[in-house]
């Protein structure tokens, strides 16, 4: 654009004769040219900004740091600067260096020993001038390799999608405004604000610090929290000594801070760790290990059988090359090398389906565990409730009551004194005004566009101040110090000095009533502090209980010149209504055998009110305090904890003890939470579930699963998927093993009986494609059955191959072997020499049996009419494709040569279809019998119970 306008400027210069004729530039064009020259200079300056090494940045003064990164430490970068710097430094993320080309990945498939054996077989065929056999083997081998490559590629792509599901976020100052951004948007020079629970989004040189403690164990391995400062350092040292630098990926455990981004992406210290991490392989899930073990056992068994087949055939005088080719083809078909891949794909697809339902699963093994979960311990605030706090009641220390109207984070609504209904604004009532002032000043939240940036409880206090036109009262104080909230002390306080008056410093405190009242020596009575008598303390305690019984979250507020000599100002009642759908979700989970327990830091009355509201344990609530949990021995607690439905006034260590006790009693525990105080319990639970919107970075990091929209009801979808995925894998295993056993047994029996081989090598490989290909894959994506959720949780020790499944596998295999051998016996000529018609009929019969077997394997318990033909469209398409492929193999001349087949008549196909359907009919009848037996047992159990 600049060049175009500069050329326009040159066009203003004209030549006539020997002398130069100049056309003067207009004023606007001169200004435009000047602006563009300034812009070019600004772009060049932005390009000179580079990431600073942490050791160098730690020695910089604030002014040097601002100059090095060309940033205003108060207002942050402009959008122009951000755009230019991103062109140089890129996004603040790690890009996986996946340089291996597709063709190399495809060629890697040929490293499989079985494929190499097939290749050797094709080469031997060429040497013996059996060119048709060589071409047939090569074509079949290419198809097998391509199917395997597509499976692995699909699995890799699915896993890549998983890494994009949990983008980290941060708070950043740009153009003078605090903005909530994705961490990937940061560039060197950005000003980032940090608070308790945040994950550090980049390497940052701190410029402001308030009691900041950071957990750097993820980077340094040191378990001790690191205290941070904002003063420049002078000495030399390693990363652990850089106390004014916080590193990407570490966690803020206490306090708050602000600083300048000095390194992003792979230019951060975590970038080095990421490079090492790329070299590590993802560990296999327990289910995959189970499948690997099963695959190895079946492989060993298959090789033994195949060895016997080849040896027996050779002793019977059959051509050794022919027997070798059939043996290798049989190995390719019978050995379930695709089993672990299908398990991985099924799990990953399940995870991606969950993501569409607003549930992000961070680790694949959790998908398996979901189906076993029988206890869900849920934090109350932000999980069972909406976490959109609204103040509804006020009680001042001198006994005035007021009600507050309006919902959400806005100034809509009024504060009215009771019983007079007088509307209060600003300090028209001193007691109410001072109470609201304290809540607004001892506060770190900001409300912007009806959205709170910060803690919801603090947002509710800001909204209350907005309703009284006191939201700007915060600006009349200069904050000198903050004592941040912690789950142990249950209060926060700030030390401030008034801006416009020469008054002494004042403390404002808010927190749990029983903690705040300890610091109070007086109470406010119409603006005059009076001694806090036991009677007055008792009155306030009763008011706090009354609010709690209404299900309100109660905050006490106080202010004063000294922390130990505060004036009690009153109580604020905040409602956090239960989320829509929570009551129904709790009911469905209870009916399916999953016990839901509430663990909260709130008072007993508040917890019971919410518990009754959501019909926890059908309203029959049993409660236990954090103190009782702490005093009880672990073994006793393990016996008692199952009977308790509500735990109140709990701290992080109480939550951890409860989780451990439940696990000791044999439960598989899921824990939901959103705060820093939930992180330890989330980590120790079998399934840690964090909230996506209101959850802190610490809780998200500790969790295995994230509910994107904070909806407790989404857990239902997750449990449903967990159960459904396990059932789908069982269906796939049944189908694949019954086909493997049938193929092995068919060749073994014909060899032992000295009969010609019923299937040739290419036909066996075609069966393998069906067995490992689309029909088998589609069983892994069977939609979750509606009745799945009503089934009790699965025992974590249950194996996939249990006795019932093995019997069903053997039954299906027996039917397939019997039917296929019957056709082979019927079609074989009297001279017992195999003909193209014999192998075509036998081959087609086996394939049709396979497809009918896949149809019945869609469910282990339900009839096909109950689950519906059209529910799994992928299955229908894959079966249709397999049928068309089989018809092409029979009727298309080039394929007839490869597979050594010939045309079949319509009656032949009708006979084969009718016979092959027997495996489907028999299996469906077995399901029907099981259903009747199950009903009879339930009826008998009911009669005995009555």
- Catalytically active residues are 379
The Cβ of residue 53 has, within 10 Å, a number of other Cβ atoms equal to 14
Looking at the DSSP bridge assignments, the partners of residue 483 are 493
In terms of phi and psi (left: phi > 0; alpha: psi -120 to 50; beta: otherwise), the region of 493 is: beta
Neighbours of 558 (CB within 10 A): 29
Query: What letter would DSSP give residue 111?
Result: G
Task: Work out the angle between the directed axes of helices 320-334 and 113-127 (0-180°, nearest 10).
Answer: 160
Name the nearest CA neighbour of 325 among 878, 902, 855, 764: 764
What's the CA gap between 749 and 134, in Å, rounded? 27
Locate 166 and state its tokens: 């949990």
- 328 CB-near residues (< 8 Å, 6+ apart): 114, 117, 118, 121, 761
- Structure token pair of residue 98: 């996946």
Residue by residue, DSSP assigns 769-832 as: HHHHSHHHHHHTTPPPPGGGGGSPPPPTT--SS-HHHHHHHHHHHHHHHHHHHHHHHHHS-TT-
Residue with tokens 């939470």: 673
How does DSSP assign 634-661, residue by residue? HHHHHHHGGG--EEES--HHHHHHHHHH
Phi, psi of 759 (to 5 degrees): -130, 140
In three-state form (DSSP H/G/I as H, E/B as E, the rest C), the secondary structure along 280-343 is: CCCCCCHHHHHHHHHHHHHHHHHHHHHHHHHHHHHHCCCCHHHHHHHHHHHHHHHCCCCHHHHH
User: In which region does residue 798 sit, left (phi positive, over 0), alpha (psi from -120 to 50) or beta (all else)?
Assistant: beta
Question: For residue 256, what are the β-bridge partners?
Answer: 195, 210
- Residue that has been written with the tokens 């964090």 in this structure: 690
Q: Which helix (H) or strand (E) holds 243?
A: none
Which one-letter DSSP state was computed for residue 101?
Answer: -
3-state secondary structure of 70: coil
702, 683 contact by CB (below 8 A): yes
Q: How far is CA 384 from CA 387, 474, 595, in A?
A: 9, 32, 14
Per-residue CA distances from 355 to 190, 448, 545, 671 (Å) = 31, 29, 42, 19
How far apart are alpha carbons 840 and 758 in whole angstroms?
9
Q: How many residues does the chain have?
A: 946
- The helix or strand, by DSSP H or E, that contains position 763, with its residue range, turns out to be helix 761-772
Strand locations in 138-197 (E): 169-174, 177-182, 191-195
- Distance between CA atoms of 490 and 495, rounded to whole angstroms? 17
Instruction: Collapse the DSSP code of 493 into the 3-class scheme (helix H, G, I; strand E, B; otherwise coil) and give the result.
Output: strand
Paired residues of 570 in beta bridges: 396, 557
DSSP state of 51: P
């Amino acid at each position: 654009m600049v060049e175009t306008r500069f050329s326009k400027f040159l066009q203003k210069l004209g030549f006539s004769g020997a002398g130069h004729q100049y056309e003067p530039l207009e004023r606007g064009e001169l200004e435009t040219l000047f602006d563009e020259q300034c812009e070019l200079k600004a772009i060049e300056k932005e390009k000179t900004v580079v990431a600073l090494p942490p050791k160098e940045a730690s020695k910089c003064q604030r002014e040097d740091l601002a100059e090095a990164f060309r940033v205003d430490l108060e207002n942050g970068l402009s959008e122009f600067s951000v755009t230019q710097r991103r062109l140089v430094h890129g996004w603040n993320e790690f890009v996986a260096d996946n340089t291996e080309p597709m063709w190399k990945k495809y060629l890697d498939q040929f490293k499989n020993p079985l494929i190499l054996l097939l290749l050797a077989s094709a080469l031997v065929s060429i040497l013996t001038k059996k060119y048709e056999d060589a071409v047939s083997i090569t074509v079949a081998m290419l198809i097998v390799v391509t199917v395997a490559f597509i499976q692995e590629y699909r699995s890799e792509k699915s896993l890549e999608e998983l890494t994009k599901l949990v983008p980290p976020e941060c708070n950043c100052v740009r153009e003078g405004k605090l903005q909530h951004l994705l961490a990937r948007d940061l560039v060197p020079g950005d000003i980032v604000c940090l608070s308790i629970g945040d994950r550090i989004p980049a390497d940052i040189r701190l410029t402001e610090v308030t009691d900041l403690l950071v957990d750097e164990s993820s980077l340094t391995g040191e378990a001790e929290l690191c205290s941070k400062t904002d003063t420049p350092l002078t000495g030399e040292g390693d990363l652990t000594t850089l106390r004014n630098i916080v590193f990407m990926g570490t966690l803020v455990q206490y306090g708050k801070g602000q600083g300048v981004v000095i390194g992003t992406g792979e230019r951060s210290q975590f970038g080095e760790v990421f490079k090492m991490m790329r070299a590590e392989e993802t560990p296999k899930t327990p289910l995959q290990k189970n499948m690997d073990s099963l695959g190895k056992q079946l492989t060993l068994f298959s090789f033994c059988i195949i060895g016997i087949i080849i040896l027996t055939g050779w002793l019977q005088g059959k051509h050794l090359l022919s027997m070798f080719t059939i043996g290798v083809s049989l190995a390719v078909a019978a050995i379930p090398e695709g089993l672990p891949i299908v398990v991985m794909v099924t799990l990953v697809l399940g995870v991606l389906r969950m993501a569409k339902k607003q549930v992000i699963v961070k680790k694949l093994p959790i998908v398996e565990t979901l189906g076993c979960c029988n206890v869900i311990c849920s934090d109350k605030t932000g999980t069972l409730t909406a976490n959109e706090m609204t103040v509804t009641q006020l009680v001042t220390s001198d006994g005035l009551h007021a009600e507050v109207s309006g919902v959400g984070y806005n100034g809509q609504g009024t504060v009215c004194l009771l019983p007079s209904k007088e509307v209060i604004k600003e300090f028209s009532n001193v007691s109410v005004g001072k109470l609201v002032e304290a809540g607004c000043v001892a506060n770190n939240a900001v409300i912007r566009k009806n959205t709170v940036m910060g803690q919801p409880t603090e947002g509710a206090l800001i909204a209350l101040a907005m309703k009284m036109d006191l939201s700007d009262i915060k600006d009349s104080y200069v904050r000198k110090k903050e004592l941040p909230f912690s789950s142990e002390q249950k209060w926060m306080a700030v030390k401030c000095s008034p801006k416009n008056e020469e008054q002494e410093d004042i403390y404002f405190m808010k927190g749990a009533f029983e903690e705040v009242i300890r610091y109070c020596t007086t109470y406010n009575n119409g603006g005059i502090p009076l001694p806090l008598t036991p009677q007055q303390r008792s009155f306030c305690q009763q008011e706090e209980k009354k609010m709690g019984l209404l299900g309100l979250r109660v905050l006490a507020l106080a202010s004063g010149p000294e922390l130990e000599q505060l004036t009690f100002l009153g109580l604020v009642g905040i409602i956090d209504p239960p989320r829509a759908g929570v009551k129904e979700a709790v009911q469905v989970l209870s009916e399916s055998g999953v016990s839901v327990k509430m663990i909260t830091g709130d008072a007993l009355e508040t917890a019971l009110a919410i518990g009754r509201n959501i019909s926890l344990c059908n309203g029959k609530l049993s409660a236990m305090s954090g103190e009782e949990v702490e005093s009880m021995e672990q073994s006793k607690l393990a016996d008692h904890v199952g009977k308790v439905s509500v735990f109140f006034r709990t701290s992080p260590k109480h939550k951890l003890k409860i989780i451990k006790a439940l696990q000791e009693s044999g439960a598989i525990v899921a824990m939901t939470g959103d705060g820093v105080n939930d992180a330890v319990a989330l980590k120790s639970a079998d399934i840690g579930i964090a909230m996506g919107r209101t959850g802190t970075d610490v809780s998200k990091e500790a969790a295995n699963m994230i509910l994107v929209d904070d909806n407790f009801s989404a857990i239902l979808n997750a449990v449903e998927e967990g159960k459904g995925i396990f059932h789908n894998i069982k269906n796939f295993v049944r189908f694949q093993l019954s086909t493997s056993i049938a193929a092995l047994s068919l060749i073994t029996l014909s060899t032992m009986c000295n009969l010609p081989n019923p299937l040739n090598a290419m036909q066996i490989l075609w069966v393998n494609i069906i067995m490992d290909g689309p029909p088998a894959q589609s069983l892994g994506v069977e939609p979750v059955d509606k009745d799945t959720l009503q089934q009790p949780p699965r025992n974590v020790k249950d194996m996939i191959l249990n006795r019932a499944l093995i019997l069903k596998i053997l039954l299906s295999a027996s039917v397939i072997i019997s039917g296929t051998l019957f056709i082979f016996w019927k079609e074989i000529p009297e001279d017992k020499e195999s003909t193209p018609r014999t192998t075509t009929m036998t081959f087609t019969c086996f394939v049709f049996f396979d497809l009918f077997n896949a149809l019945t394997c869609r469910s282990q318990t339900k009839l096909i009419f109950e689950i519906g033909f059209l529910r799994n469209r992928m299955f229908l398409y894959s079966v249709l494709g397999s049928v068309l492929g089989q018809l092409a193999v029979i009727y298309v001349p080039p394929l007839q040569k490869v597979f050594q087949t010939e045309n079949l008549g319509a009656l032949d196909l009708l006979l084969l279809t009718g016979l092959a359907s027997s495996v489907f009919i028999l299996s469906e009848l077995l399901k029907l019998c099981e259903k009747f037996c199950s009903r009879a047992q339930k009826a008998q159990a009911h009669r005995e119970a009555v």
